[in-house]
Chains A and B, each alone.
Chain A
Amino acid sequence: MKYARILGLVLVVLTASLSFAARAPKSAVFNSAHDFKTQYNGASYTLCNFCHVAHKFGSAPTGPSYLLWNHTLSSVANYGVYTSDSMVNQPVDLGTSSNANLITSNLCLSCHDGTVAINSWYEAQSNASYQPIAQGTDFMPSDTTVRDLTKQHPINFVYPDATSAANIGMRVAGSTSSIDGAGNVPLFNGTMQCDTCHDPHAGPSSGAHLFFRTFPSTPEQTTTGSFCVYCHL
């Protein structure tokens, strides 16, 4: 519980400093597919600790996207990048050979590239006192992993500037921190990441499935029934 309290404080500070728009509360993760506390019934971690921990443990890397990450990161060297003839800015590979530093999407990939067990944590590796359950036994099912990023919507690329976006039929980003300019469809230093579309804390109550963010309502989305057209005008 100590960790949870500290983590809560940190998150309050983070939220205040970034002044993002209204989002699903972090507690919405409860009973979602990201609620490992419930799934690992009897594990000693809190709801948050399956991903976050208040103090850096062991070999956990740090950096602006560290987000007090507790889950063992992947060591995949190259994920590949999506390309298309209409892309303005090419993505940068999120693998360790291209990115020595932590990008926010690397946190997601620590489970979702399928190479690291869900139950693999830095804290547990470094301190035998904090073994929530046995380590390294559960892997993501293949239908929720994205090992080959050439076949995924591109991430870790600089969202096109206003002129380019207009030319290729994309919504012009409101700022380098979000496409709507109000934080609802976030960018990270101008780049698109997993979190642009997904909110890992957005449990079942916030959307139909798959931790989607709630996109600002537009006529295009209403007619197509697809949030893709929020950006792809």
Chain B
Amino acid sequence: MRRWLYIAMLLALASAGVRLYGARNHAAIINTRHDFRAASSASVRSVSGADACVFCHTPHNGGGATSDGTYLWNHRLSTTQFQAYSSTTLQSTVTPITPQDSSKLCLSCHDGTIALGDTLNDGLLGFVQGGSYSLPLSSSSDLADTQGFANDHPFAFSPQLSSEIRTPPPGDPVRLSGGKVQCISCHDPHQENLDATVGKFLVKSNSGSAICQTCHQQTGWTTSAHAQPPDPSEDPKYTSLQGAHTGYTGVSRNACESCHRPHAPQVAERLVKFPEENTCFQCHDGSVTNLNIKAEFVKTYQHPVMITPSVHDASEGPNSALHALPETSSAVGRHAECADCHNGHAANNSSAQPPQVSGPLLGVPGQSAANGFLPRSNNEYEICFKCHGDSANKPQLFDSGTAGIGYGRNPQRQFDVGNLNRYNTRMEFEYSPSYHPVTRARNLSSGPGGEVPSLRPAPILPGGATMAGRTLSAGSLIYCTDCHNNDTGRNVGLGASPEGPHGSSIPHLLERQNMLEPPPALPGGSTAGVAYSNTDYALCDKCHDVQNSVLRDLSFNKHSEHVQQAGAACSTCHDPHASSSSMLINFDRSIVGPASNGALQYTRTGVAHGTCSLSCHGQDHVNVTY
């Protein structure tokens, strides 16, 4: 009978197949930080222990009771419970650790509550650091620290699989234990230096975050600039001086851990190394990247990245109870953080044509022109509409001065009166009769005799050179960032500063000057306006030839009279976003008043023809035609 039993056991062996794990080497524990023999070269070690195994294991009457076995555990187990990790974007259910989790064994030392030498079957083994030395709060090995396990990568949970989370492939040294992520998923307690750079008992090399990416498959990561830095001279500049904590240099090799830290990061939720922009500024302050983004945020007009506290939440969206976007409450504080416009997992330096998102904006949630939430924006304006469209809490920092942390002087537009949606940029562009072609093509004819004769064949740089890679025609679309952008960046031909609407010294965060005239005492009243200079309207001139078309009166034949002689600004009559009138006419009511007959109206009567009723600069126009 027994022979049959053995045959059965052998058959079971054959059918079980071969289970692969990382190469085990238990004796490799010698002289690691887990070698507590008195003769160990580790600084934390016992006074008299001679057997390296006994600090954790015992052949008989082990104390563990995990679902994977007792592991013949000889160390006294902690009974203290600590807070588990949580985050608003966590899909898995993470509950406090139970005795059935193999990680419980590791915590018998690593939660700091039990003496390192406190064995079940071999008594209390004294340590050099003290007879009942346990890991102190100051030790990075004490995972409980002051925040419990809230600031540690979650463990003792079954991962919820998704397009971005998978289980480790069979045979990978990274493995689940009992179907769960446990300490031993990433750590091999017997081998300290399988990653010779990091140490930390990792199960394999984590260069390029190979361990992290065994499970985490972030969309867009492999083609992101953080995985493949486009400038090979920048990458090696990321060192411990900038914040690299792994021992590796370079973002490509630190990969996930350039921004995240699996244990004890400064920001527990999502394990971010530093609060918000400070994570990005490790590199993007010019110390690693050639372009200094951080310096943009000291400009007068800016997205207030450094001013607002860390209120961005990665779960923001229409279905988030805590972080609704678009905002439904007018009382909620506004914020703009790096992560509102950029996705570090996907961003790269690829270019695109309007309205599509360019590389730096890949993978960012947005709000469509039809006001639908998009987990990944296709078009640049969708990112802007998250905050500048239907959010109920705008504007908040109302600043009508020409300097300060606001918008600059806000023209008070003719069609703003009584318009509840006057700050809804999405509705402006999507539904107004006349508009700049941000969400929809305008299809006005250009060229001599056309509806927009001033339209250039391509946008120009401030010096007049054509912008590379861009053309303009009746059907063209433009970016929000064609007007709202860095005033000193690469976008205006200055190579040392980044493009993008981070900050500008021109009101409304404009890329180039779009002069306003100071309002008179009363709308319609006499004023000298603003003296004309050919650089005052550089923004308009980018696409509309101001010198050789607009001021040569090829469309409205009184342009030069109004702008050059009377000192009116483009903005006095035109609304650069959109208008309920034709030709973006939307008078600035702080300058333009009604005509003597009470009318304030522009009517287009044909190409280059129209009728105005208004008073301005002390002049009364009643049904004046051109």
- Output the least CB separation between B184 and chain A (Å): 9
Whole-angstrom CA separation of A82 from B63 in the bound complex: 12
**B14-22, B110-118, B337-345 - interface stretch:** B14-22
Cβ 8 A contact of B13, one of A65, A158, A232: A158
The yes or no answer to B177 lying at the interface (CB within 8 A) is yes
Instruction: Please report whether the interface of chain A is mostly helix, strand, loop or mixed according to DSSP.
Output: loop
Task: Assess whether A84 is in contact with B19, with CB atoms less than 8 Å apart.
Answer: no
Count, chain A residues at interface, CB 8 A: 46
B70 partner residues in chain A, CB cutoff 8 A: 82, 150-151
Task: Assess whether A233 is in contact with B24, with CB atoms less than 8 Å apart.
Answer: yes
A-B contact count (CB 8 A): 123
Whole-angstrom CA separation of A225 from B31 in the bound complex: 12
Whole-angstrom CA separation of A130 from B59 in the bound complex: 37
Task: Assess whether A153 is in contact with B72, with CB atoms less than 8 Å apart.
Answer: yes
Task: Assess whether A220 is in contact with B27, with CB atoms less than 8 Å apart.
Answer: yes
Evaluate whether A225 and B61 lie within 8 angstroms (CB atoms) in the complex, with A101-B1, A220-B27 already known.
Answer: no
B24 partner residues in chain A, CB cutoff 8 A: 86, 167-170, 233
- Output the least CB separation between A212 and chain B (Å): 10
Task: Assess whether B26 is in contact with A233, with CB atoms less than 8 Å apart.
Answer: yes
Instruction: For chain B, residues 41 to 81, give those with C-beta under 8 angstroms from any C-beta of chain A.
Output: 50-54, 57, 59-64, 68-72
Which residue from chain A places its CB closest to the CB of B25 in the assembled complex?
A169
Whole-angstrom CA separation of A168 from B20 in the bound complex: 7
Task: Assess whether A100 is in contact with B50, with CB atoms less than 8 Å apart.
Answer: no
The yes or no answer to A92 lying at the interface (CB within 8 A) is yes
The yes or no answer to B12 lying at the interface (CB within 8 A) is yes
A85 partner residues in chain B, CB cutoff 8 A: 68-69, 102, 177-178
Instruction: For chain A, residues 151 to 168, give those with C-beta under 8 angstroms from any C-beta of chain B.
Output: 151-153, 157-158, 160-161, 163-164, 167-168
Task: Assess whether B60 is in contact with A226, with CB atoms less than 8 Å apart.
Answer: no
A100 partner residues in chain B, CB cutoff 8 A: 1
Evaluate whether A229 and B10 lie within 8 angstroms (CB atoms) in the complex, with A163-B18, A164-B18 already known.
Answer: no
Task: Assess whether A224 is in contact with B53, with CB atoms less than 8 Å apart.
Answer: yes
Whole-angstrom CA separation of A63 from B30 in the bound complex: 44
Cβ 8 A contact of A229, one of B20, B23, B26: B26
The yes or no answer to A131 lying at the interface (CB within 8 A) is no
Evaluate whether A82 and B12 lie within 8 angstroms (CB atoms) in the complex, with A151-B61, A225-B51, A233-B26 already known.
Answer: no
- Output the least CB separation between B596 and chain A (Å): 91
Which residue from chain A places its CB closest to the CB of B23 in the assembled complex?
A169
The yes or no answer to B283 lying at the interface (CB within 8 A) is no
A83 partner residues in chain B, CB cutoff 8 A: 68-69
The yes or no answer to A105 lying at the interface (CB within 8 A) is no
Evaluate whether A161 and B13 lie within 8 angstroms (CB atoms) in the complex, with A146-B61, A167-B19, A233-B27 already known.
Answer: yes
Instruction: For chain B, residues 438 to 457, give those with C-beta under 8 angstroms from any C-beta of chain A.
Output: none
Task: Assess whether B26 is in contact with A169, with CB atoms less than 8 Å apart.
Answer: yes
Most buried by A among B16, B20, B25, B60: B60
Most buried by B among A83, A90, A223: A223
A170 partner residues in chain B, CB cutoff 8 A: 24
The yes or no answer to A10 lying at the interface (CB within 8 A) is no
B53 partner residues in chain A, CB cutoff 8 A: 224, 226, 228-229
Count, chain B residues at interface, CB 8 A: 43
The yes or no answer to A125 lying at the interface (CB within 8 A) is no
- Output the least CB separation between A10 and chain B (Å): 21
Query: What 1/0 flags go to B483-504 for Cβ under 8 Å of A?
Result: 0000000000000000000000
- Output the least CB separation between B177 and chain A (Å): 6
The yes or no answer to A7 lying at the interface (CB within 8 A) is no
Whole-angstrom CA separation of A87 from B18 in the bound complex: 11
Evaluate whether A168 and B21 lie within 8 angstroms (CB atoms) in the complex, with A63-B2, A226-B52 already known.
Answer: yes
Task: Assess whether A101 is in contact with B13, with CB atoms less than 8 Å apart.
Answer: no
Evaluate whether A84 and B9 lie within 8 angstroms (CB atoms) in the complex, with A100-B1, A151-B62, A152-B60 already known.
Answer: no
A64 partner residues in chain B, CB cutoff 8 A: 2
**A27-35, A52-60, A116-124, A189-197 - interface stretch:** A189-197
B25 partner residues in chain A, CB cutoff 8 A: 169, 233
B62 partner residues in chain A, CB cutoff 8 A: 151-152
Evaluate whether A189 and B6 lie within 8 angstroms (CB atoms) in the complex, with A88-B19, A151-B63 already known.
Answer: yes
Whole-angstrom CA separation of A120 from B64 in the bound complex: 33
The yes or no answer to A89 lying at the interface (CB within 8 A) is yes
Evaluate whether A224 and B68 lie within 8 angstroms (CB atoms) in the complex, with A89-B9, A167-B21 already known.
Answer: no
Task: Assess whether A223 is in contact with B27, with CB atoms less than 8 Å apart.
Answer: yes
Q: Please list 30 pairs of residues, one from A and one from B, whose beta carbons are closer than 8 Å in the complex, sorted by A's number.
A: A83-B68, A83-B69, A86-B19, A87-B69, A89-B9, A92-B9, A99-B5, A101-B1, A101-B2, A146-B60, A152-B60, A152-B61, A157-B9, A158-B6, A158-B10, A161-B13, A164-B13, A169-B23, A189-B2, A189-B3, A190-B6, A190-B10, A191-B6, A224-B51, A224-B52, A226-B51, A229-B53, A232-B26, A233-B25, A233-B27
Show the binding face of B for A, using Cβ within 8 Å. Answer: 1-3, 5-6, 9-10, 12-13, 16, 18-21, 23-27, 29-30, 37, 39, 50-54, 57, 59-64, 68-72, 102, 177-178
The 5 closest A-B pairs by CB, nearest first: A169-B24, A84-B69, A220-B27, A224-B52, A225-B50
Not counting A161-B13, A167-B20, A167-B24, a sample of 12 additional A-B residue pairs whose C-beta atoms are within 8 angstroms of each other reads A83-B69, A85-B178, A87-B69, A99-B5, A101-B2, A150-B69, A157-B9, A164-B19, A223-B27, A226-B54, A229-B52, A229-B53
